[in-house]
A and B are shown apart, each in its own frame.
Chain A
């Protein structure tokens, strides 16, 4: 009797969990009939990383993100993502972050067009919009899409998205968002530090973005661009720093093109990007942050799901390899200082196993090679300065989920 009760209890719990998962995944996906619904969902990832050169390992809960959405009507919905990075945020300590990744309202204009307004991620690059751990290979997001194109690059603004009936597969987007803050640019992470991400953004500088995305056969081809100001200052402040001010003053331009191919378990990804900061010299003069004038980068990735041989399984075991080339010194202004460590190449190889849709187990090895370190940029003198290794290796094991 006891055993029967336990079994029934277990079955009840399992069936309840199944219902919850289904409901969560549905978001306002319409599987729930009522137009007025609220749904919780989420994703996250954890990893163990071993650095082969210095024989040191780290384990980190990279992120846990809670998604909360609400459907007010068939035309208006709310989307939000609240993220905790590195598990813990403690006052006075470096590390960890609690941030809203997105918080916007979506207005469906008709079956082909919708508008988003609020804190949203414009369509730039691959990872920016598609950053869930079960959508990319490797424990780390492609380095290019962290260091040159900032990943999860969100700002406050309005975006219009649509597709054309006359050309099946063709999608477009345009957006107007607040600009960047060139005072936050850092040598080594490009424009990443200049994002406001919804916090007290100085909207005197603005930016426009746009993309064309085309699905044809098994290809997904995209081109996108960004152009915006990075000095949202008063005239007095800008003049004192000798910066160009105004809506598009001290501009940053980014162009990107990418291609993805998926067919019968075989997958290919490739992306190229270029960032131009024409007033880099002025930015360096104002903020001394060694901003480059031009950064470029590209990567390509090949993958194959070897379980495709067994057509009856829904599991996925993808073997992949990726090569990345980043040049964050492509062109320097006259007052820029060459930093060889920012000419980076990565070779990443590994496996991604999905025992079920939404869960991923990853193992990969990263080989990283950079240029020489510029002694002029070493602030701490010998013997206190740590040695710099041009070649390094990292072995990572990790888990990810999305529901």
Chain B
């Protein structure tokens, strides 16, 4: 009786394990690094070439040596781009950027790709910079 119970228990554990690995592996396919565009801004404008975007994702992390925080440049449509400052509005920690949103590891706040708070304690949305599409690049205005 004990052996049978043990067997059922082990089988169930194994099945759950396999299921868990399966689910995780499907999730992991989307965890490739986001492209990072490194630059040094001049005159409060960052010029990001359209070629910075790859075909898989619509987000580029803009890393400016003159700025304290990264900027997430998000391609909403072919002509519409958002530039969000990756600084948590709760206690100014750097945010972790993923393809689905932005997370603060310090206190658990999360933001969607529009910069809106999806999980407190942050109360305010992310700061959004003005953008302008030119022929071959997107300009981010830091003012």
Establish whether residues A132 and B121, one from each chain, have CB atoms under 8 Å apart when the complex forms: yes
Contact of B127 among A30, A77, A134, A357 (CB under 8 A): A30
A165 contacts B by Cβ under 8 Å: yes
Establish whether residues A29 and B106, one from each chain, have CB atoms under 8 Å apart when the complex forms: no
Establish whether residues B68 and A108, one from each chain, have CB atoms under 8 Å apart when the complex forms: yes
Q: Smallest distance from the beta carbon of B58 to chain A beta carbons, Å?
A: 14
Who on chain B is nearest to A112 by CB?
Answer: B94
Contact with A along B70-100 (1 / 0, CB 8 A): 1000000000000001011111111011111
Establish whether residues A220 and B91, one from each chain, have CB atoms under 8 Å apart when the complex forms: no
Establish whether residues A135 and B120, one from each chain, have CB atoms under 8 Å apart when the complex forms: yes
Q: Which chain B residues numbered 50 to 84 have a C-beta less than 8 Å away from chain A? A: 61, 63, 68-70
Contact of B98 among A69, A71, A135, A215 (CB under 8 A): A215
Establish whether residues B33 and A161, one from each chain, have CB atoms under 8 Å apart when the complex forms: no
Interface size on B, residues (CB 8 A): 41
A171 contacts B by Cβ under 8 Å: yes
Decide yes or no: A31 and B121 within 8 Å by CB, A135-B108, A163-B96, A218-B100 being known contacts.
no
B9 contacts A by Cβ under 8 Å: no
Q: How distant is the Cα of A27 from the Cα of B89 in the complex, in angstroms? A: 8
A50 contacts B by Cβ under 8 Å: no
Contact of B96 among A29, A215, A262 (CB under 8 A): A215
Q: How distant is the Cα of A77 from the Cα of B93 in the complex, in angstroms? A: 11
Contact of B120 among A26, A123, A215, A357 (CB under 8 A): A357
Establish whether residues A30 and B87, one from each chain, have CB atoms under 8 Å apart when the complex forms: yes
Establish whether residues B106 and A161, one from each chain, have CB atoms under 8 Å apart when the complex forms: yes
Contact with B along A182-220 (1 / 0, CB 8 A): 000000000000000000000000000000010111111
Decide yes or no: A262 and B110 within 8 Å by CB, A168-B34, A216-B31 being known contacts.
yes
A53 contacts B by Cβ under 8 Å: no
Q: How distant is the Cα of A132 from the Cα of B91 in the complex, in angstroms? A: 13
B12 contacts A by Cβ under 8 Å: no
Establish whether residues B121 and A135, one from each chain, have CB atoms under 8 Å apart when the complex forms: yes
A60 contacts B by Cβ under 8 Å: no
Q: Which chain B residues numbered 108 to 143 have a C-beta less than 8 Å away from chain A? A: 108, 110, 117-121, 123-124, 127
Who on chain A is nearest to B118 by CB?
Answer: A262
Q: How distant is the Cα of A69 from the Cα of B112 in the complex, in angstroms? A: 27
Q: How distant is the Cα of A27 from the Cα of B106 in the complex, in angstroms? A: 15
Q: Which chain A residues numbered 331 to 350 have a C-beta less than 8 Å away from chain B? A: none
Establish whether residues B123 and A358, one from each chain, have CB atoms under 8 Å apart when the complex forms: yes
A9 contacts B by Cβ under 8 Å: no
Q: How distant is the Cα of A357 from the Cα of B81 in the complex, in angstroms? A: 27
Decide yes or no: A111 and B31 within 8 Å by CB, A132-B121, A262-B110, A357-B123 being known contacts.
no
Please give, as numbers and ranges, the residues of chain A lying within 8 Å of B124 by CB-CB distance. Answer: 22, 25-26, 29, 31
A79 contacts B by Cβ under 8 Å: yes
Q: Smallest distance from the beta carbon of A163 to chain B beta carbons, Å?
A: 5
A169 contacts B by Cβ under 8 Å: yes
Q: Smallest distance from the beta carbon of B22 to chain A beta carbons, Å?
A: 14
Report B's interface with A, CB cutoff 8 A: 27-28, 30-34, 36, 61, 63, 68-70, 85, 87-94, 96-100, 103, 105-108, 110, 117-121, 123-124, 127
